[in-house]
Structure 1
Amino acid sequence: MTTSTRVEVLAPRRPLDDAAADESLPADLTVQVGSAGAPIPGSVPLQEFVAAAGTLTHAQRSTLVQQALVLLEGNYVHLPLKAAMHAVNPVQRLRLLRARLRQQTDATMGPERDFHREMSSIFHSVRDLHTNYVLPAPFAGMIAYLPFQVERCVDGGQERYLVSRTAAGVGAPTFTRGVEITHWNGVPIGLAVAVSADRFAGSNRAARLARGVDALTLRPLRLHLPPDEEWVTVSYLDAGGVRHELRQPWLVGPNVPPMADADVPTTAAASQGLDLYADDASRARALLFAPQAVEAQLSDVQAEVETEPAEAGADLTTTMPLVFRARSVVTSSGTFGHLRVFTFNVNDPDAFVDEFVRLAGLLPQEGLVLDVRGNGGGHIHASEFLLQTLTPRPITPEPVQFICTPLNLSVVRQHAENPSGIDLGPWLRSMEQAVETGSVFSSAFSITPVEGVNRRGQQYCGPVVLVTDARCYSATDIFTAGFQDHRIGPVLGVDDNTGAGGANVWTHSLLKQLLELPAPDPESPYRALPNGAAMRVSIRRTLRVHELAGTPVEDLGVVPDRRHDLTRRDVLEDNADLLDAAGALLAAMPARSLQVTPSLDAGGTLTLQLGTRGVERVDVYVDGRPRASVDVPPGGTTPTVTVAGVAGAAVVRVEGWAGGELVAARTRPV
């Protein structure tokens, strides 16, 4: 029962002078300015930032609209799907905007904020987090934020919204971690989240609601205009059930720079599958709530990492703290590994997989909780390379298709012979044939090379549970689909779907450069964008494999095999109930292990020292040829296996079988 209501003020540090009592803020805010420091250096109040924005000319606006038409008409792979599923026509909206601009001049055109709002609305209408209008300077690289995080949970069968984290150095006496939000600017919190969800792109209901919760407190400004309101009023219940109100100004500050460059014509840029919002938000949250991880990631000093297995309940040090968190967790069903992958947005997928394998090897081998919640994707190679490390089965990468348009054909034809390191040759023939056949899409080929995705072999032989949410997007959708399609383990979701981003995304800058290499195409429609503006587009759509072969990922996402609603304990006690649920799934699965130590003597005899658990038979292949097969005695020690006549520099693959199924494998050079 609530017994009283108190109004408290939370405000940023700011120099005071004779004009400190800004008339645009209520008196109780300006009086308190300077009472608490901003958590991100260089932050300013929202109204101060907005006052300095807005420098686009009429000609620059016209260029942006025309280039948006080029992308959506000539490159956008999901245009037919989005028009059908969401009853939208972004191309016509752009044409109308272009027509209105032609009737205006620099003197008569409307406010720049209105132009950005219309452009953003057109791109958001397709509900595709890959296809973006990226705002120009001064918005790019900045975030609008409130210095706390809100998360949804289910408690006592009721949906609740709790403050899960507050930024260092900011807080009112009663506004602490764990308080329950009841109203947002006077609107009941559930309705406020729904309204927020409708304003931001999301391919399905779960994804929109997840984005709606995020946007309450965090807005990457290169994708979304600053909030209309300069402050929010938050109604909340403290631990004693007392109702309070907090008036919190929005702040604007610089974000941590991205870890990969998607504009340079490289394999990494052409293999991007990234939700820009999620990537920006993830780095911003680290800056707000884990600044030590940001410092470690950006430091030139190499982290000292452990070489011994993690003790129960302990974290491991990683060389990529903004990418991984690895720890041994004690659950009600046993002690397992918990490996969080925050992003696939890396430049070097091999280094990424190396660090993953190292961390997994130091975690308990009885089972692994692989947690990709909130992962907005990144390098598609990194996501699909990871799959083979968790299964003995060969991996089939997801194939992708272009939409057949004259502009896409020009891009593919110019790079059919790999002049830039971006090989589009496999798609050329089907796209040329589409001129005659009228096919909407090209043939499907994988972005990730098959030999690369199967090069490492299985590295972790224990059971694995994958944990997902509606913020999983793009390369993480691809990873989750591959995990499920290859039956690596159960998918435990805290939402009904993943984010459903089924595409490879290219930037306008990359497309422009591709028609300039190796020699400029005189008919290229791409023009430089003004004032640091940018655009991105879904260029190739992804399709699932095996039982769901041919099914698109876009808008559908991946439905988890099991569901778990986040609880109050999950939000406030480091996912305690979620890890118990995952641990129960792991405990019900058979634990496997297969250790191989090869040695080759001068006479060409290969000796394999094997260690097994949960394996009934072992088959040995040398350079792809079957050379030996032995049964494993029940409960006994696996005998040493010898193979004669082996040449030097061979590759040995050892397969473990149980119940007629391949359950473990190791690949080792000799």
Structure 2
Amino acid sequence: MSQPRKTVAKPARKTTTRKSTSRKTTEAAAAVPLPQFLASAGTLTLGQRKLLVDQALLMLEQNYVHLPLKAAMHVVNPLQRLRVMRARVERQTAETMEAEWIFHRQMSTIFHSVRDLHTNYLLPVPFAGKIAFLPFLIEKCFDGTGEHYLITRTVTGFTAPQFGPGAEVTHWNGTPIARAAALNGAQFAGSNEAANLARGLESLTLRPLVIQSPPDEDWVTLSYIGLDGSSQELREQWKVTTNLPPMTDLDAITPASAAMGLDLDSDEKSRAKKALYVREVVELEQGQSSAELTHAVAVGGADLATTMPGVFRAREVVTAHGTFGHIRIFTFSVQDPVAFRDEFVRLAAALPQNGLIVDVRDNGGGHIYASEFTLQTMTPHRIVPEPVQFISSPLNLRLCRRHKDNPSGIDLGPWFDSLDLATETGAVYSAAKPITPEDGANEIGQTYYGPVVLVTDARCYSATDIFAAGFADHRIGRILGVDDNTGAGGANVWTHGLLATLLNEPPPADPTSPYEALPNGANLRVSIRRTLRVGELSGTPVEDLGVRPDVTHQMTRADLLNGNVDLLDAAGAMLAAMPNRRLGLTTSLAATTLTVELDVDGIDRVDLYLDDRPISSEDLSGDPIAIDILEVTAGQLLRADGYSAGDLVASRRART
């Protein structure tokens, strides 16, 4: 005879439906519930939908450089999916066509299938420029018991019982949080598993509606362990508000838009986080993203003052292994790459010279020039910018022919001859040529002489992937990764608007241009030129492969809640184990005699060049020495190259 089951009563879980509070940010005050926002969306006609599908087919078939790679690696066929969708739309009428949000979701799903965050369907108004958000952020950390998901930020004015930074999320709408993040990552796929998981977690609470479909649910039920250890449950409604404006008009013919390597999803989220959680920076920039201020300001008490508070954060960090410099680069999305490089140089010079931590986590990229111009400042070696290729197609050939002799605008001449020959040779890709001018990438040379550690994660993408690849390929320093790969986005990205403009400017416009104006502010983006590695991995694509770190650090609870303390300590340990060089150089010119004084550490030989002509090679014992060089005129460029055991380890320049 079976025994009756014994039931053990469990403490009731506390559930909170949050009421609004009086303290809110400007964005929170302007936010509207998701259902209210969606009720006003949806004005595309059937003809406009057909046009969007047709233009998507055109760009993916004729402009998309990664189509062969993606079809092979991910076993996808976006062209056939678009053709099927076009046939189904053709059978619909204005009365029978599906709801507009379903159309947008189908288009987004097709673009997401290629797992390329450069290649996007951008939703029209009212979605463009809007973000859907929950008023908190969740980040992952690890300890001896496994992984944990913690609340790390809340919007000002948001309150819930025992809720705030440090509360641990266990379930998302009843699904274990790790599983919920993974499922979400599959929907908004990155180029590799690390990127999938990172983006899946981030998109649980923040979605730019220009690039991601609105949430299916009107609200979320969050189960969490409160700050006092109690079991809690929170029901929170999705809201929609306006995001900060982008830095660059990506449709305009400008050097910035043509040289853009930007993950729009990360850039939109970065601006949204700033709007929701870092209001002091928004106020300093007066609402203009990545603004360059006329006077340097410090956002935090321990930070160095900077003219670009939305781009850089620089400070000294004290670790168990010494005191080092730390520069966080939030974005490369700037208009002036030289100003970016120069501000990096100024900040690095004001920090300790015995070691520098360059932290590019969460950086979705931006101006490719800015990323590659900055590499030279940390190495004595000449920078070779990453070369890029078009895919061979009749439309890309037309674009390059029209702009092959355009040195003052977007010059596509370096790629024209190879594309022209591809018709006969059957070559899949054009010749590989750099976007970044090599002279600009080597204009000022090395300015920081201590060891450097680069910190990356799976949300590094595009121009940031290019920066990380260049850092590795030129052996500038060591790489410390929070994840086991970067986001693996290796391309220059152009919009439909820019492509259309390129066939219409300079006048006269091309009357046979296949690009048609898109309705309601909709847009499309594609990877137009793929990037290739240099150095030992020369010719290897960055896309899908990314840059793997030398050392991996799993984020801890202390990292999330106490300023990355363990991460920075790990970087400090790496810096302390690396050699520290010094190459002091002072000059004085009397008549035509230049006196050069050298003060070095960790260097046993210095070669001197005047206007790139060899002048002298000196073996050093460590003591300062003075050298006289005759027949020198003012304004010549002196370069001193320092060697250790035959390896070039430092280089300094000075004008006579």
TM-score (norm 1): 0.93
> In structure 2, what is the equivalent of residue 147 of structure 1?
135
Shift of residue 610 of structure 1?
A: 3.3
Specify the alignment match of 1:652 in structure 2: 638
Kindly provide the CA deviation profile for residues 219-271 of structure 1, in whole angstroms up to 9, marking residues without a partner as x.
Answer: 00100121111110100002332110011111111111111222111121111
Choose which of 201, 215, 219 in structure 1 pairs with 2:203. Answer: 215
Structure 1 residue 663 corresponds to structure 2 residue 649: yes
Residues 318/40 of structure 1: CA separation in 2 closer, same or farther (3 Å cut): farther
Aligned counterpart, 2:6: none
Moved more, 463-472 or 167-176: 167-176
Paired residues of 2:586 and 2:596 also in contact (CA < 8 A): yes
Which string of whole-angstrom CA distances, capped at 9 and with x for unpartnered residues, describes residues 265-286 of structure 1? 1121111100000001011111
- 2:592 partner SS: coil
Amino acid corresponding to residue 472 of structure 1 in structure 2? C
Inter-CA distance 651–301: structure 2 relative to 1 (3 Å threshold): closer
Q: Partner of 1:466: helix, strand, or coil?
A: strand
Are 1:599 and 2:588 an aligned pair? yes
> Does the 8 Å contact 2:297/2:309 carry over to 1?
no
2:625 aligned counterpart, secondary structure: coil
Divergent runs of 4+, >4 A: 34-39, 299-304
Q: How far apart are the structure 2 equivalents of 1:490 and 1:526?
A: 45
Question: What's the secondary structure of 1:607's corresponding residue?
Answer: strand
Q: SS in structure 1 opposite 2:476?
A: coil
Correspondence for 1:565 among 554, 568, 577: 554
Does the CA-based 8 Å contact 1:314-1:329 persist in structure 2? no
Q: Residue 625 of structure 2 aligns with which residue?
A: 639
8 Å contact kept, 2:404–2:411: yes
Q: Given residue 545 of structure 2, which amino acid in structure 1 is its aligned partner?
A: L
The match for 1:488 is 476
2:200 corresponds to 1:192: no
Contact 1:144 1:226 in 2 (8 A): yes
Give the equivalent residue in structure 1 for 2:163.
175
- Give 1:176 deviation, angstroms: 1.1
Compute the RMSD of aligned alpha carbons: 1.9
2:363–2:459: 8 Å Cα contact kept in structure 1?
A: yes
Whether the aligned pair in 2 keeps the contact of 1:154 and 1:566 (CA below 8 Å) is yes
Alignment of 1:230-629 (within 5 A): 230-298=218-286, 302=293, 304-305=295-296, 314-418=302-406, 421-518=409-506, 519-601=508-590, 603-629=591-617
1:416-459 alpha-carbon deviations (Å, 9 max, x no partner) = 10166111111111111110111101110000011110111001
Q: In the aligned structure 2, how far is the partner of 1:126 from the partner of 1:93?
A: 12
CA change 1:173–1:38 in 2 (3 A) is farther
Q: 1:620 to 1:157 in 2, by over 3 A?
A: farther
For residue 9 of structure 1, what is the aligned residue in structure 2? 17
> 2:102 corresponds to which residue?
114
What SS does the aligned partner of 1:316 have? coil
* Partner deviation per Cα, 1:556-608 (whole Å, 9 max, x = no partner): 1111111111111111111111001000000000111223233322x211223
* Structure 1 segments unaligned to the other structure (5+ residues): 14-33
SS of aligned partner of 2:28: coil
Q: Provide the aligned length of Structure 1 versus Structure 2.
A: 643
In structure 2, runs of 5+ residues without a counterpart are 1-9
- Give the drift of 1:615: 1.8
Cα distance in structure 1, aligned partners of 2:606 and 2:473: 25
Q: Distance in 2 between matches of 1:210 and 1:369?
A: 22
DSSP-derived class of the 2:127 partner: coil
Aligned equivalents of 1:476 and 1:388: distance in 2? 15
The answer (yes or no) to whether the contact 2:251–2:257 under 8 Å persists in 1 is yes
* One-letter identity of the residue aligned with 2:384: T
Q: Distance in 1 between matches of 2:651 and 2:586?
A: 13
Q: What SS does the aligned partner of 2:316 have? A: strand
Q: Where does 1:8-87 land on structure 2 (aligned, <5 Å)? A: 8-12=16-20, 40-87=28-75
Q: Which amino acid aligns with 2:18?
A: L
- Would the aligned equivalents of 2:292 and 2:307 in 1 still touch at CA under 8 Å? no
Counterparts of 1:112 and 1:301, CA distance in 2: 40
- Mapped contact 1:38–1:169 kept (Cα < 8 A): no
Deviation string for 1:516-570 (max 9, x for gaps)? 1222222210011110001100001110011101101111111111111111111
Q: Return the alpha-carbon distance in structure 2 between the equivalents of residues 596 and 306 of structure 1.
A: 31
Cα shift readout 1:179-222 (whole Å, capped 9, x = no counterpart): 10000011110110111111102000000100001001100010
- CA shift for structure 1 position 629: 2.5
Q: How far apart, CA to CA, are the structure 1 residues paired with 2:28 and 2:100?
A: 27
SS of residue in 2 equivalent to 1:627: strand
8 Å CA contact 2:25–2:276 kept in 1: the answer is no
CA distance, structure 2, for counterparts of residue 5 and residue 75 of structure 1 = 54
With structure 2 as the length reference, what TM-score do the two structures score? 0.95
Identity of aligned residues (%): 59
Pair 512,36 (structure 1): closer, same or farther in 2 beyond 3 Å: closer
Contact 1:11–1:249 under 8 Å retained in 2 = no
